[in-house]
Every structure is written in structure tokens, then in C-alpha cells.
Structure 1
Amino acid sequence: MSSGNSESYDHATKAEEANGGSAIQLERLRTAGGHVDDRTQPSLPVVHRRFANPAPLGLLSFATGMFLISIYGVQVRGVATPNVLVGVLIFFGGVCQFISGIMEFISGNTFGATVFTSYGAFNLSYAAIYLPGTGIMAAYTDPTTGELNSEFPNALAIYIWAWFILTVIYTIAAMRSSWVLFLDLFFLDIVLLLLACGYMLNNVTLEKAGSAVGFVVTILSYWAGMAGLFANGITPINLPVFPMYTEP
């Protein structure tokens, strides 16, 4: 192959100077046979990845866990042993809600990410109390009688106080969201306050009152979850959440 032919396809551009070197002409690369050697890469389509709204899953899983905690707390049909709810608290109230929080992190929603992962951890940690393998309840059990000692209610009260403090912080953060979400967290504050005082004072009435108020939290959580799930034309039903703040 001649050197002249190699020049014709080894160089993608050809520069020619004219008028004292002020003009430059660019040519396409051509093969030895004179065909255009087009090596340009077609542009790839821009794909915007879309994620589903994780809030309905987080709210509905929280509502279901709260419903079971409340219904066992008021001892409906005489059921006082709450161990049946452990599985729901771990897999639905815990794992699903934690996943919702991680998805909120990805979506850039700081409030949702913080709240959902926190209450997912609450469900997991609360369920762990009743799991024999953790040894938590065994640590507070009198070996001679097999009954829980007086330390357990106080330890449980301190545990609930910690979640009460967090919930107050989240309630303040929700003051510019919606009335449904704000009232949901507000009544959750009351639930935790009554339960903590009830366990600390060994007052069954306060404990049952806290569980009863938990049904209000359940209804509001279900409402907020359904509002998000039914939105965007999925169903003909649109539930209002009553925004607390609108942009001027």
C-alpha cells in the first residue's frame, strides 16, 4: 500500500491553509476505496430512573404494628400475652419500614428517611424484647418464681422515654408537613408518655389508656398511608391530608 493511500485514511481531518494560513478546511476520514469511514458513536438515550413512593409502605407497616401493640395492650378478648405480634413487628413493621427509610434516603427525603428507619428500628427492638434468644426478659426474671421482677417495668419505661424524646423531635419537624402526619406524631407522643408513666408508676390504667390512644395513631397512619397509595390516579379515591403550609 502506498504512503499516499495511508495518508487518506490515517488522518481524520485534513487541514488546508488559505489566505495566508487563516482558513482551515476539515474533511471526513475516507478509506482507501474512497468510502466515508464514519466512526462517530450514536448518542445514547437519556434514561431517568424512577423510584416508587416508599412512604405508603412505611406508613402502612407502622400502622399495622401500632394496631397490634394497641389491641394487645387493651387485652381484647382477654389476650394479655403479646408474643404473636413479634413476627409482624420484625418482618412488616421492622424490615419493610426500614427498607422504606432507605428508599427515602435515595429519594433525598431527609425527614422520611429519618422517621421510617427510626420506627423500623423501634419495631425490631421492641420485638427483640419478647424473643427468648435475646435473653432480655430472662435477665429480669426471678429464677425462683419464674416471674418478672420489679426492675422490668422501670427498664421498659426508660426504653419508652427514649422513644418519646425522639418522637417529640419528629413532631416538631412535621409542623410544616400536613395535619394528618403532624397529628399522627402528636398522638404518638401521648401514647408513649402514657405508657412510660404507666410502667414507671406500675399503673395499669395509664398503660391501657396509652394503648387506647394508640388506635388514634393507627387510624391516622392508615389514613396517611392510603392517601399516598391512592394518589396519582391509581384509584378514583383521593384522601386529603390537609397541608399545614402552602407556598405563597
Structure 2
Amino acid sequence: MSTVKDGLANPAPLGLCGFALTTWLLCLINAGIFDVKSVGLVVAMAFAFGGTAQMIAGMFEYKKGNTFGFTAFISYGAFWWSWALFVTFFKGETPATFVAWYLGAWGTFTLMMFLGTLAKAKALRAIFFFLTLTFYALAIGDATGNHAIVNLGGYLGLITALCAFYLAAADVINESFGRVILPVGEPK
């Protein structure tokens, strides 16, 4: 997301790790690998790491002049905060069809962001491609009450998280070694 050498640390790995780890945990539940009793840990991660760390990373992307990184990290940080607040305070009061609209709106926002990645590294493009599919699958699953589609969304989210982990690792490892160890498919 940000590779400019300006004397500041690259905030992207922090934001990507906050996104990836929280997404991974939630999608283990969405995929049906763990049950909903495990959601409390995801809520805690959503507030502490998925939400807060991404917002911090977003503010540093702002300082670096990276509009894409700023928009992505602040927005998905706010997503995690809104999701955690919803699960904590309002889940039993909201119809699944309205939750589907929420997820569908995030899918549409993510599709817009995906279009913004077409001029960026392929690893970043993969994150937003799979995240778009994840949101739409979860939205369709909630709208139809089809848990198999929710499970599919969970598996797509696990792929999304792995893509984000990869890009975070590439940013940290490549910078540490001063050369490309993990390629990210930089645009030509």
C-alpha cells in the first residue's frame, strides 16, 4: 500500500495484519469451523486490532499522502468497529435481511476499492477481489437464509485473510532484507 521511503515506517503491514487476523477469526465462524459461541473473541479483536490498528495505519497513510491506503484502512477499521458494536448491542434486534443490506453495501464499497487496485500490486488486487466476493456471498447468505452460502463467504474470507497476511509479510520481510523475497506483483 505504501512503499515511499520518507523516513517514516510503512504503516501498511500494521493495517493489513489488523485486517487479516480479525477477518481470519470471524471467517472461521462464518465457514462453520467454529460456532457462534466463539464470537466474543472476534468482537475483542475487532475493537482492539481490526478496528483500532487499521485506523492508526490509515492516519499514517494519510501523512504519507496515500489516498488509497488512508481510505481503505480508515474505512475497514470503521467496519470492524461498527460490526463489533452491532454484535455487542443490536444483533438480536436486527432482521437478517437488513444485515444483508449492510454486507451488500460493504461489498459495493469494496468493489469500488477493488477497481482502485487495478493500477496497484497484484497481491493488493487479490485482497480486494476476494473481499468483494466475501461480502457479497455473506450478504446473499443472510438475505436468503442459506447457511451454505454464508459458509462459502466464510471460506472466501479465509482466502482474503491469507492474501492480506501475505502482503503484510512481503512488506515487512522485503524491507528487512532490502530486496524482494516475497514478490507482490508490482505494476509495470
TM-score w.r.t. the length of structure 2 is 0.91
Other-structure match for 1:137: 91
Matched, 1:201 2:144: yes
Unaligned runs of 5+ in 1: 1-48, 141-151
Other-structure match for 2:23: 66
Other-structure match for 1:84: 41
Other-structure match for 2:123: 180
Runs of 4+ in 1 over 6 A off after TM superposition: none
One-letter amino acid of the counterpart of residue 47, structure 2: I
Alignment of 1:13-162 (within 5 A): 50-77=7-34, 79-81=35-37, 82-132=39-89, 136-140=90-94, 152-162=95-105
Distance 2:44 2:81 in 1: 10
Other-structure match for 1:221: 164
Asked if 2 retains the 8 angstrom alpha-carbon contact of 1:83 and 1:130, the reply is no
Distance 2:81 2:153 in 1: 20
Distance 2:178 2:26 in 1: 30
User: The residue matched to 2:119 in structure 1 has which SS?
Assistant: coil
Distance 1:237 1:103 in 2: 24
Bigger relative contact order (CA 8 A; separation at least 6):
2
- Which one of the candidate residues 131, 146, 153 is aligned to 1:210? 153
Aligned CA RMSD, in angstroms, stands at 1.6
Unaligned runs of 5+ in 2: 1-5
Deviation at 1:213, TM superposition (A): 1.1
Higher helix share: 2
Deviations 1:188-212 (A, max 9, x none): 1111111101100111110111001
Deviation at 1:184, TM superposition (A): 1.1
Deviations 1:111-138 (A, max 9, x none): 1001010000011111111213xxx225
Distance 1:116 1:100 in 2: 6
Larger radius of gyration: 1
TM-score w.r.t. the length of structure 1 is 0.70
Distance 1:73 1:112 in 2: 27
Q: How many residue pairs align between the two structures?
A: 182
Deviations 1:86-116 (A, max 9, x none): 0101010000000000000001111100101
Distance 1:108 1:195 in 2: 33
